[in-house]
């Protein structure tokens, strides 16, 4: 099988950038080569920021914060609503650029922008609901309450695979909460970041009253990210990426007592029980394991199947894996696009070799390419049947590899499920209410996301998103994730004439 790329991807990318209002000086003649994974070719050259300019951008954002924090929250929400409107207009163009820069399918590129719009809608409503509690006081004539205040500059470090949605999850909440934002996108995806910054600038102009530098973009490598990590002007850093990145970032944040939202790697599993609706499970597994060419943090990487349904399910999965269309993600029939780069391909092959040498049976996993595209890395997703959960099975390899294991007792399946260092997303396929409820209970899945009869990937923005253990413990997006972007003050108000002390303490000075 070969992959055929019809039109010039580079030319299309430049047209999309132009359409989105990014000036050509921003993506030509710079020192950072931007590749498209569709062909591997260089499609733009973006200028990276130097350390001094990054320091200045953070200081300007801090100055913007000092003004933004006194803008009433519903007015901040109106600005974010306008950002959502701009994104709505930009959706088809920005979505296509996401596809060209990351290699994800067009529907996924559009979906990523839809997610940005959704979180703007959510945050605009939230801007009128940043509510605190009133709390009964033990003292006569006293009242207690909580007040939520803006925090400062929120740093955002993002990964290549969700190049714009992760920014939006953080930005929309941070902005309505009264903060400024400074973004260090992945060095692999600066074009979509430039486009989003242009979109933000338009929304801010429409809103009026937005202080300059409220949203800054720092294009650069991890050293620029480290400036955000270490800056005393950044009280909260939301960092999305590998566990290795989190290991570097976490202790540095802790050293200066800064807050972190760490959204790191996953090693997500699903359990398929004897009563499962196998047709539904098959579709869910296929999307979770092969979607985005296995390059989602929530990608299904481990499948734990009851012995009674193992043969039937694996036979069907093999047939889907053998026939799935791999190719240009802009084509309607394609289901699996390219890996991001050669490094990713090598990591996949190394994991498969390790599995083979451990006695696993590997189906698929080979490179699918045309001799015209030596620098593009298309692969057939791999199914790897293993008898034990060791070695590479316990690691996240950011590629379409699904390790399959058999179980006999439900308790063993749960134990296998939780016996990895990561704790992001999980799923169970069962029609047995006891199994489903146990999976969701305190003794069940140890992940931040636990699903029943749907796959591990494709979360909605309404819920809090994030995971446990080496996934970092952060939560962003919906539910009450906004509280991390504000500081909480507990207020006690005495409206009486006496001064009773808490816990009956007496301290009479006369
Ligand atoms: P990566 O860790 O290589 O890079 C992520 C970002 O961190 C980049 O912007 C990079 O420049 C920056 N960075 C790296 N080291 C840094 C350091 N020491 N200090 C400051 N910044 C640093 O990840 P990637 O290859 O771009 O993305 C894939 C990884 O991201 C996978 O592990 C995936 O699971 C994870 N991911 C997690 C989530 C989540 O929400 N949990 C979402 C998307 C991706």
* Domain(s) of CATH 3.40.605.10: residues in the chain: 9-264+472-489
Q: What is the pLDDT of residue 372?
A: 82
The string of pLDDT tens digits covering residues 384-399 is 999 999 999 999 999 9
Closest to 37 in 3D by CA, of 273, 270, 343, 317? 343
The runs of H, that is alpha helices, within 362-450 are 410-418, 433-440
Whether the model clears a pTM of 0.85, i.e. scores above it, the answer is: yes
Predicted confidence (pLDDT) at residue 6 exceeds the cutoff of 60: no
Distance in Å, CA 140 to ligand 1 centroid? 52
Q: What is the pLDDT of residue 137?
A: 98
CATH entry, 9-264+472-489, from 3.40.190.10, 3.40.50.1820, 1.10.630.10, 3.40.605.10: 3.40.605.10
CA–CA dist 483, 475 (Å, integer): 10
Closest to 178 in 3D by CA, of 138, 149, 219? 149
Q: What is the pLDDT of residue 7?
A: 57
Torsion of CA 68, 74, 78, 83, to 10 degrees: 60
294 C-beta closer than 6 A to ligand 1: no
The string of pLDDT tens digits covering residues 182-223 is 999 999 999 999 999 999 999 999 999 999 999 999 999 999
Catalytic residue check, 56 = no
User: How sure is the predictor about 1, in pLDDT bands with cuts at 50, 70 and 90?
Assistant: low
User: How sure is the predictor about 2, in pLDDT bands with cuts at 50, 70 and 90?
Assistant: low
Spatial CB neighbours of 283, under 8 Å, sequence gap ≥ 6? none
**Per-residue b or e along 434-455, where b marks 16 or more CB atoms closer than 10 Å to that residue's CB:** ebbebbeeeebbbbbbbbeebb
Catalytic residue check, 78 = no
365 C-beta closer than 6 A to ligand 1: no
Q: Are 231 and 57 in contact (CB under 8 A)?
A: no
159 C-beta closer than 6 A to ligand 1: yes
Superfamily of domain 268-462: Aldehyde Dehydrogenase; Chain A, domain 2 (3.40.309.10)
Average pLDDT, the chain: 97
CA–CA dist 195, 202 (Å, integer): 11
Q: What is the pLDDT of residue 510?
A: 80
Predicted confidence (pLDDT) at residue 369 exceeds the cutoff of 80: no
Q: Of residues 187, 263, 470, 476, which has the active-site annotation?
A: 263
């Amino acid at each position: 099988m070969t992959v055929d790329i019809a039109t010039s991807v580079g030319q299309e990318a430049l047209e999309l950038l132009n359409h989105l209002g990014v000036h050509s000086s921003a993506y030509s003649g710079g020192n950072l080569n931007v590749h498209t994974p569709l062909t591997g070719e260089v499609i733009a050259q973006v200028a990276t920021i130097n350390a001094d300019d990054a320091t200045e951008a953070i200081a300007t954002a801090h100055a913007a914060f000092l003004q933004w924090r006194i803008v009433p929250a519903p007015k901040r929400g109106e600005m974010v609503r306008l950002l959502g409107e701009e994104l709505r207009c930009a959706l088809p163009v920005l979505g296509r650029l996401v596809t060209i820069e990351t290699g994800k399918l067009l529907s996924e590129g559009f979906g990523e922008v839809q997610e940005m719009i959704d979180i703007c809608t959510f945050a605009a409503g939230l801007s009128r609901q940043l509510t605190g509690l009133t709390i009964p006081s033990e003292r006569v004539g006293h009242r207690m309450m909580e007040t939520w205040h803006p925090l400062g500059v929120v740093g955002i470090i993002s990964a290549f695979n969700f190049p714009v949605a992760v920014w939006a999850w953080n930005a929309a909440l941070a902005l309505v909460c009264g903060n400024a934002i400074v973004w260090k996108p992945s060095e692999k995806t600066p074009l979509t970041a430039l486009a989003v910054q242009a979109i933000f600038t338009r929304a801010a102009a429409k809103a009026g009253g937005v202080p300059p530098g409220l949203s800054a973009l720092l294009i650069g490598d991890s050293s620029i990210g480290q400036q955000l990590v270490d800056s005393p002007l950044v009280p909260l850093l939301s960092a999305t990426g590998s566990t290795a990145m989190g290991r570097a970032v976490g202790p540095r944040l802790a050293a200066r007592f800064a807050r972190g939202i760490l959204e790191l790697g996953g090693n997500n599993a699903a359990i398929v029980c004897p009563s499962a609706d196998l047709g539904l499970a098959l579709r869910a597994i296929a999307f979770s394991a092969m979607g985005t060419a296995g390059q989602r943090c929530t990608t299904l990487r481990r499948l734990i199947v009851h012995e009674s349904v193992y043969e039937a399910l694996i036979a069907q999965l093999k047939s889907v894996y053998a026939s799935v269309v791999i190719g240009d993600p802009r084509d309607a029939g394609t289901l699996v696009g390219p890996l991001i780069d050669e490094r990713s391909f090598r990591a996949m092959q190394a994991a498969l070799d390790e599995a083979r040498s451990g006695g696993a049976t590997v189906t698929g996993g080979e490179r699918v390419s045309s001799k015209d595209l030596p620098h593009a890395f298309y692969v057939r997703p791999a199914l790897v049947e293993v008898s034990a959960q060791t070695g590479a099975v316990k690691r996240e390899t950011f590629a379409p590899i699904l390790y399959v294991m058999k179980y006999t007792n439900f308790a063993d399946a749960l134990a296998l499920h939780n016996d990895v260092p990561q704790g992001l997303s999980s799923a169970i396929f069962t029609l047995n209410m006891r199994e489903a409820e146990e999976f969701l209970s305190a003794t069940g899945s140890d992940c931040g996301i636990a699903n029943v009869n749907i796959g591990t990937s494709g979360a909605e923005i309404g819920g809090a998103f994030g995971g446990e253990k080496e996934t970092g413990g952060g939560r962003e997006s919906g539910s009450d994730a906004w509280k991390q972007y504000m500081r909480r003050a507990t207020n006690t108000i005495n409206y009486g004439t006496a001064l009773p002390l808490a816990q009956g303490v007496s301290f009479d000075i006369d």
